[in-house]
Amino acid sequence: MQFELTSDILVSLKDAIEEKNSLYLQDQLHDLYAPDIASIINQLNLQQAAYLYELLDDEIAPNVLLELDDDKREDLLTTFSSKQIAEQIDNMDSDDAADVISELPEELQEEVLSHIEDIDQASDIAELINYEEGTAGSLMAKELVSVYAFETVSQCIEEIRQQADDVDVMYAVYVLDNKERLIGIVSLKKLIISHPLARIEEIYEPDIQYVRTNTDTVEVGEYMQKYDLVVLPVVDQLNRLVGRITIDDVMDVIKENTDENIQRMSGISDDVDSNDKLWRLSRARIPWLIVGMCGGIIGSRIIGTYEDQIKIHPEMAYFIPLIGAMGGNVGVQSSSIIVQGLANNTLIGDNIAPKLLKELGVGLINGMICSFLIWSYAFVIEDWQLAATVSAALLTVVLCASFLGTFVPLTLNRFKINPALATGPFVTTLNDIIGITIYFLMGRILYGYF
Amino acid sequence: MQFELTSDILVSLKDAIEEKNSLYLQDQLHDLYAPDIASIINQLNLQQAAYLYELLDDEIAPNVLLELDDDKREDLLTTFSSKQIAEQIDNMDSDDAADVISELPEELQEEVLSHIEDIDQASDIAELINYEEGTAGSLMAKELVSVYAFETVSQCIEEIRQQADDVDVMYAVYVLDNKERLIGIVSLKKLIISHPLARIEEIYEPDIQYVRTNTDTVEVGEYMQKYDLVVLPVVDQLNRLVGRITIDDVMDVIKENTDENIQRMSGISDDVDSNDKLWRLSRARIPWLIVGMCGGIIGSRIIGTYEDQIKIHPEMAYFIPLIGAMGGNVGVQSSSIIVQGLANNTLIGDNIAPKLLKELGVGLINGMICSFLIWSYAFVIEDWQLAATVSAALLTVVLCASFLGTFVPLTLNRFKINPALATGPFVTTLNDIIGITIYFLMGRILYGYF
C-alpha cells in the first residue's frame, strides 16, 4: 500500500541519475506521491537532488519541495534563481509558501516576492512571514471562504464559487460583521437548504471557537485535539478574521512536540535526527552525559566515605548497581505516568497530595515485592546482614524514587517548565545518588548493630 | 481561552451536586464544551456523575458521553436502561455509536440496537461492530456522500443535499461505478463550476488513495499523516466503498500509539494512566522492575568474582555507579534517535551498517570527552591506575552502549517487533551488566600490570 524506500531502489535510482537516464527516472517516479519522492531526494547529494527535481512535472514539484527535510530544501533552493523559486511558490497554499520564503536569506525574500505573479498571493505571503515563529499567525493560511452577515444565501454561494480553490475538502464558511469581525459560522448544509434570498444573519451559528494570531502553536494543537476540530479560524486583536489553521498543519506541530519530549526524556537537549551531522548529534547529547558524570562523581565521593566498611565487607559493593538501577527505573516509571497525565489533561495540576500518595502506594507494593525477592536471594547466597541491608535499602530507594518521580514533574509543571525534563537523566541521576547514600547508611547501621 | 478544571471549581461543583442545586450547575455548565464537561464527570463518583449527566441538555449529552474515560462511561451506562442508551446513541456518528455499543455486554448490544429508531443508523452500527478492533473497519464511519459515475452534476448536488448531515466540514464526494466500487473523487469546486447536465464520469478525478477494512489502524494513521490527508475512504475486498476515516479519529490512534511507546520506553508494560487503580498501576510496572532486578543480581555476581581485588583496592567500588549510569544514558540516547528515525521513516531500515558507524562516531567523540574529564578528576583526586581504569572503561562502555543502542532497535524492527521496547529498561539493564564487566576487567589488567 505504502511506498517504502529500500537501499536497492535507492542504488538503482542513483545509478540512473549518474547515467542521466531521465526516461527511466520519470517512469519510476510517475506513480509516486510527493512525500515518497521527497524521501528519495532527502537521500541524494545536492547535484543528484537538483537533477532529479528538474525532471519532476510542474504540478508535483512544489509539493515535493514542501516535503523535503529543511536542510535539504535550503540546499536545493541555493541552486535556484529567485525567479525559479517564485514559480515554485506561486501555486502553493499561502502558509506553505510563507514557510519556504521565511527560510530564505532576508535579501532574497523581497526579490522572490517581487517575482510572484499572483499579487494577492504575494501580499498574503508578505503578511504571513511577519508573524513570530511558534504562534498561530505563523501556522495559519489565508485561503478561506467568508461572507458578510448582511449578504444573502445566493450571494454567499456565488462567493464560494469564486473563493473556493480546487479543494477536496470544503471547510465551513465564516460569517463577518461589517467591520470584518468574526461573528459565526454557517454550514454548507444550511446554505443548501435555505431560501436563496434568506440573509446569512438569519441562519448562521453564532457559537464559534477561534484562536488569536499570537496564541502558541502547541496550545493550538492541544486545543484542536481536545475539541476534535478539523479547522480553526484565527482572529487578530480586533477580532477580525485573518486566517485559518487546518488539522494537518497542527499535526506536524504536535508530532514535533512529541518528538522533542521523547528526546528530552532520553537526555538529548537539541532537536536532532539521525541524518544530522556527527558534531551536531554529539553536541546535543554531551550536556546530559556531563550531568550524569557529575552525578557519578558525587556517588564516588559518597561511597568513598565508606571505604573502611567496603574493606571489611566487600560484598556491600556487589549490590551497588542493583540499587542504582532500581531507583532509576522506578523514578522514570513514576514521572512518565505523571508527565503523560499532565499532557493529556487527565490530571488536575494544582492538587499534588493525592497523586503523591497514590504513587507512594504503587511504590510500596512494588518495593515490597522486589524487596522480598532480593532478600530471599541475598539470604540464600550471601549472609543475613547483607540480605537485610539490601532489601531495606531497596524498599527505601523505591519509595524515594516514586516520590521524586511524582514530585519533580508536578513541581516543574507548576513553574511552567516542561515536565518532560524530569523524566530524563535528571531524576535518574538524583535517584542514583540518593540510592547509594541510603544503601551505605543502612549498611553501616545494620552491620554496626549486629 | 481553554477551560481548565481546578480543584476549587471541582469542590464547588461537588458541593452543588450534594445540595442538588441544579440551577447553579446548569448555569456553570452552560458555556462549556463537551470535552470540558467530560473532564469534570471523570473526577466524580458514579452517583454524582449520573446526577450531573441527567442535567445536561439532549444536544450535548451524547458528546459528553463520548468524551468520558472508557471506565467512567462503562460505569455510567450501567445506570441506564437499554432504551436510554439507544436514545443517546441515535444521534451520534455511526463510528462513535459503534464504539459505545461495542463496549457493552453482548446480550445488551442487541437490545440497545433494537431500540434505535433510525433503521439506517442501527444497521450501520450493526455492521461496524463486527470489524475487528485495531483495523480500519473498526475506525471508519458510514456517513459519506457518494454518487454513481453515470449520474449528472445536478443529480449529484441533489444527492449531497440529501446525504449531507449537519456538518461544518464537507468532505469530497466519492464516485462509484455501477458495482459500488470506488473509482474516484469529485471536488465541490468541480461540481459548482460544471454544467448541471454534465455526467460525473466526465469530470471526476480517478487518482484516489484509499485503505481496506482490514488495514491496521496505526498504519492508517501513518498513511494519513505522511500524505497529509484529512479524510480517507475505506473499501472492502471487492473495492466497494464501505466507509471513511477522518483525521480526528486517526489522531486519537496516533496519540494512543505515542503514549504507549513512551510507556514502553519508561518500562511500563500495559496502557495505564494516573487515574487507574493502584493494583493495575503496580502490575503494569512490576515486570520491568523484575528484569532490572535480575540484571542487578547478575551485576552482583560479576562484581563478586572480583572480591579480592575490592578488598585491596576498595576505591574500585567508587566508580561503579558512574560506569553503570553512563552506559545507560548513552544507550538510551542512541536508541531513542534510532527509534524516532524509524517511526518518522527518515531511516532506511534495511541497511544497518552506516547508522552503526555514525552512532559509533558520536560515541567516540562523546566518550573521549567524558573519558578525558573523568581521567583528570580521578588522576587529581585518586591515583593514576584508577584514573586509567575508569577512563578506559568509560570509553569502552560508551562505545558498547552506542553500538547496542543502535543495533538492538534496528534488529527488533527488522523482525517486526516494536523497536521502542529497546529504548526502555532492556538496553539499560544490558548496558549496566556490560559496563561493570568491562570496568572490573580493565581494573584487573591495569592494576595487575603496573
Question: Looking at per-residue confidence, does A264 or B68 come out higher?
Answer: B68
pLDDT of B240 above 70? yes
What number is the average pLDDT over the span B181-202? Answer: 87
At residue B428, the pLDDT reads 83
Which of B37, B260, B300, B440 is the best substitution to test chain A (most A C-beta atoms within 10 A)? B300
Paired sense of beta strands B211-212 and B146-148, if any: unpaired
- A406: cell is 511524582
Contact call for residues A309 and B5 (beta carbons, < 8 A) = no
What number is the average pLDDT over the span A311-334? Answer: 88
CA neighbor of A169 nearest in space, from A188, A148, A149:
A188
Helix A425-449 / helix A384-414 crossing angle, nearest 10 deg: 150
**DSSP assignments along A130-193, one per residue:** TSPTTBHHHH-BS---EEETTSBHHHHHHHHHHH--S-SSB-PEEEE-TTSBEEEEE-HHHHHH
φ and ψ at residue B164, rounded to 5 degrees? -65, 125
- Let me know the angle formed at the C-alpha of B321 by B316 and B325, rounded to the nearest 5 degrees: 135
- B228: cell is 497529509
What number is the average pLDDT over the span B371-398? Answer: 91
CA neighbor of A97 nearest in space, from A136, A58, A66, A54:
A66
Which of A166, A169, A288 is the best substitution to test chain B (most B C-beta atoms within 10 A)? A169
pLDDT of B412 above 80? yes
pLDDT of A384 above 60? yes
Residue-wise pLDDT tens digits, B97-127? 999 999 898 889 999 999 998 888 899 999 9
Which stretches does DSSP call E strand in B181-289?
182-186, 211-212, 231-235, 241-246
- B288: cell is 520491568
d(CA A219, CA A214): 11
Confidence band of B364 (pLDDT split at 50, 70, 90):
very high
Contact state of A223 with B2 under an 8 Å Cβ cutoff: yes
What number is the average pLDDT over the span A262-267? Answer: 80
Which of B157, B293, B427 is the best substitution to test chain A (most A C-beta atoms within 10 A)? B293
- A239: cell is 477580532
Burial of B123 (0-12, 13-18, 19+ CB in 10 A): middle
What number is the average pLDDT over the span B342-348? Answer: 73
Q: Contacts by A232-235 with C-beta closer than 8 Å and gap 24+?
A: A233/A144, A233/A174, A233/A182, A233/A208, A234/A136, A234/A137, A234/A140, A234/A210, A235/A181, A235/A182, A235/A210, A235/A211
Residue-wise pLDDT tens digits, A212-227? 999 999 899 989 988 8
At residue A1, the pLDDT reads 57
Give the count of Cβ contacts less than 8 A between chain A and B.
384
Q: What percent of chain B has pLDDT over 90?
A: 42
Supply the ipTM of this predicted assembly: 0.79
Residue-wise pLDDT tens digits, A358-373? 888 999 999 999 999 9
d(CA A106, CA B217): 43
pTM here is: 0.81
Report the b/e string of B248-267 with b at 16+ CB within 10 A: bbbbebbbebbbbbbbbbbb
Contact state of B348 with A272 under an 8 Å Cβ cutoff: no
Per the prediction, chain B carries an average pLDDT of 87
d(CA A361, CA B278): 7
Contact state of A230 with B230 under an 8 Å Cβ cutoff: yes
At residue A148, the pLDDT reads 93
pLDDT of B167 above 60? no
Cα radius of gyration rounded to whole Å, chain A: 30
CB atoms < 10 A from the CB of B237, how many? 8
Confidence band of B350 (pLDDT split at 50, 70, 90):
low
Contact call for residues A75 and A69 (beta carbons, < 8 A) = no
How far from each other are the two terminal CA atoms of chain A, in whole angstroms?
70
d(CA B251, CA B172): 20
Largest CA distance in chain B: 98
Contact state of B292 with A318 under an 8 Å Cβ cutoff: no
At residue B101, the pLDDT reads 92
What are the structural domains of chain B?
7-135 (1.25.60.10), 146-246 (3.10.580.10), 278-449 (1.10.357.20)
Q: How far is A388 from chain B (nearest CA, A)?
A: 15
Residue-wise pLDDT tens digits, B197-238? 999 999 999 989 999 999 999 899 989 988 888 889 999 999
Question: Residue B50: which region, alpha, beta or left (left: phi > 0; alpha: psi -120 to 50)?
Answer: alpha
- A160: cell is 464560494
What number is the average pLDDT over the span B39-61? Answer: 92
What number is the average pLDDT over the span B32-55? Answer: 92
A216: helix, strand or coil? strand
Residue-wise pLDDT tens digits, B265-305? 887 877 777 777 888 888 888 888 898 889 999 999 999 99
Confidence band of B348 (pLDDT split at 50, 70, 90):
low
Which range has highest mean pLDDT (A161-165, B93-97, B342-346)? B93-97
CA neighbor of A333 nearest in space, from A265, A268, A392, A391:
A265
Query: Alpha helix (H) ranges present in B305-424?
Result: 307-312, 320-343, 353-381, 384-414
Contact call for residues A55 and A26 (beta carbons, < 8 A) = yes
B187 Cβ partners below 8 Å, 6+ apart? A166, A167, A168, B172, B173, B205
Residue-wise pLDDT tens digits, A103-145? 898 889 999 999 998 888 899 999 999 999 889 999 999 888 8
